[in-house]
Amino acid sequence: MSLFKRRTIAGPTAGELIPPRGGQRAGGVTVTSDSALRHSAVWACLRLRANLVSTMPVDVYRRVGEVKVEVPKPPVLIAPGGAEMGMMEWLYSTQFDLDRAGNCFGLITARDGLGLPARIELVPLSEVTVLVKNGVRKYRISGTEYEANEVWHERQYTMAGLPVGLSPIAYAAWSIGEYLSVQQFALDWFGNGAVPSAHLKNTAKVISPTDADEAKRRFKAATSQQDLFVTGSDWEYKMIQADAAGADWIEAKRYGIGDIARFFDCPGDLIDAAANGSMTYANITQRNLQFLVMNLGPAIVRREDALGSLTSKPRFVKLNSNALLRMDPQTRATMFATQITSRQLAPSEARELEDRQPFTESQLSEFDRLFGTKTPAPTAGASAPTGATT
């Protein structure tokens, strides 16, 4: 994706660092941001990351002393695209663009009383060009130029000296192109008649083109009606097989999936790619924690920092990633019991996390009736209350 018009400093030009918008021809197939989505691994990686980030609740806090206090969210963090686009859809769209192109863009069409963006209307990547002249950055969107303060530009995979993020699809074009070329070649081979489907050979003599056409006509006339085709010992019919080539295609496709997973920072086993070797996790929570820490965590932190610019200081934004670490009921109950016993969590807090109301007096009395009342052991010289159990 070509994002620069001209660069005024010495060194490599943007065109040398970022492939042109038209895409690269790799393996005979043109790879663009759109055509790359035909690669199942590209789609799966982008979908998985965007699904998870977009469904994380967005919370706004301010720090009071050593305590984080949650505060109401501004409208831009509830419906950033207006009534027709809520926060979940907005986060999905922007994360999808960030992961495939390293950039996402939107027009700031409204501001609040503090001058902060109040409405951001997203625009397609293909309609945006970043212009840098004499150190001043502007944007051309659908043929119209805008100042930098009129455009929401979020980026990731940045490089020093470039005010745009790098595109994983551009740098993965060779791997994507190889995979798409394999698909296209297989379609041509098996479906579009790029090669003959069979070979009818006369083993006794060399036949003329006229005799060959006549034999072909008779053979097709018989076989097309599921009739019998009678020959002597001088004709040999052989299906053209592609077993060896098919194995090579399958291997190339397997390699392509694993390679793409690395480009898009998404473990192959999470998109059903064949894994080399074995990976062992005690439970699904540990697997999700590893994915969150090693792969998705940095992107979440960058997004929190970018979204924080939409609020007034000293407020800050957090994406609640706890949903990604959901545990099975037994593990969750064990965790709560341990935290309550070690005085890290109050029973009322644990019930709130389970979406339950606090205990009522009748419930507490029922516990006392079933399990007895426990009171602290009396100190030296003091007697235990009458009727109390210890």
From first to last of the 390 residues of the chain, give the pLDDT tens digit. Answer: 444 444 444 455 544 544 454 444 444 566 677 777 878 888 999 999 999 999 999 999 998 888 889 999 999 999 999 888 999 999 999 999 999 999 999 999 999 999 999 999 999 998 999 998 888 999 999 999 999 999 999 999 998 888 899 888 877 776 676 656 655 555 554 455 444 556 667 777 777 788 777 777 777 776 666 666 666 667 666 654 444 444 454 455 565 678 788 888 998 888 887 655 555 666 777 888 888 888 899 999 999 999 999 999 889 999 988 766 766 677 778 888 898 899 888 988 888 878 788 889 898 888 888 888 765 555 555 555 555 554
Q: Which amino acid is at 299?
A: A
217 burial via Cβ count (<10 Å: 0-12, 13-18, 19+):
exposed
Within 8 A by CB and 6+ apart from 103, the residues are: 1, 3, 97, 125, 128, 153, 154, 155, 164, 165, 167
- 80 three-class SS: coil
Within 8 A by CB and 6+ apart from 184, the residues are: 28, 29
Query: What would the two tokens of residue 369 be?
Result: 């009736």
Among candidates 90, 98, 104, 107, which has minimal Cα distance to 141? 107
Ranges of each domain in the chain:
14-178+251-304, 198-239, 305-369
CB 97 within 8 A of CB 169: no
| Global confidence as pTM | 0.66
Count the neighbouring beta carbons within 10 Å of the beta carbon of residue 368.
12
| CA–CA separation, 199 and 219 (whole Å) | 11
Cα torsion angle, 327, 328, 329, 335, sign: negative
| CA–CA separation, 366 and 54 (whole Å) | 43
Buried b (16+ CB within 10 A) or exposed e, 172-183: bbebbbbbbbbb
| DSSP assignment string, 141-197 | ETTEEEEGGGEEEEE-SB-TT-SSBPPHHHHTHHHHHHHHHHHHHHHHHHTS-SS-S
**What is the number of alpha carbons within 13 Å of residue 273 lying toward its C-beta?**
28
